[in-house]
Structure 1
Amino acid sequence: MKFYLHVDDDAGLVRDLNGIEFEGLETAVTEATIAVHEIVAEHFQQDEPLTLKAIIICGENGETLHRISVAEALATSREGSALLM
């Protein structure tokens, strides 16, 4: 199933025009959560302000299926890896 992971940040919405295949919504949510962790860690390591607000997962017809805020993602631990390297 194809999902689109749009990035919502201070500058606005950056649309994923290509999409990516995942087994289902649960896998897409997991991957988007990992992406948020990586973006936060990268900004922290580079001492840059974080502008990311959320990743919005949409289906093939453009419908919003899930919104993962930075706060929600950070509340979700990633087993076996540290947020800050």
Structure 2
Amino acid sequence: MSSRELEDRYDREEAEAIAAALGLTPDELDEIEYSIHDIANDVGLVFDYGVEIKEGAPQYILDKLARLPRYGNLISVGLVPGIRAE
């Protein structure tokens, strides 16, 4: 397998995992622009990742995401279930 094929495979698997964490299909995830951010406590321990949805996402996708837990404008994807910053 070439390095390009491995990179494509990694990108596809990453997108599938993000889509699953958000309750979206991979095709729905393809419809939005997003970025991933660390969510850390005061001492820098990363306890979650957050997905920031960029402007322009279709309303039906925003409606699906509305029920998910958030940290400000970031949607929690649950790195460690049940662990939250104090």
Instruction: Place the TM-score, normalised by the shorter chain, in its bin.
Output: under 0.3
TM-score (norm 2): 0.24
TM-score w.r.t. the length of structure 1 is: 0.25
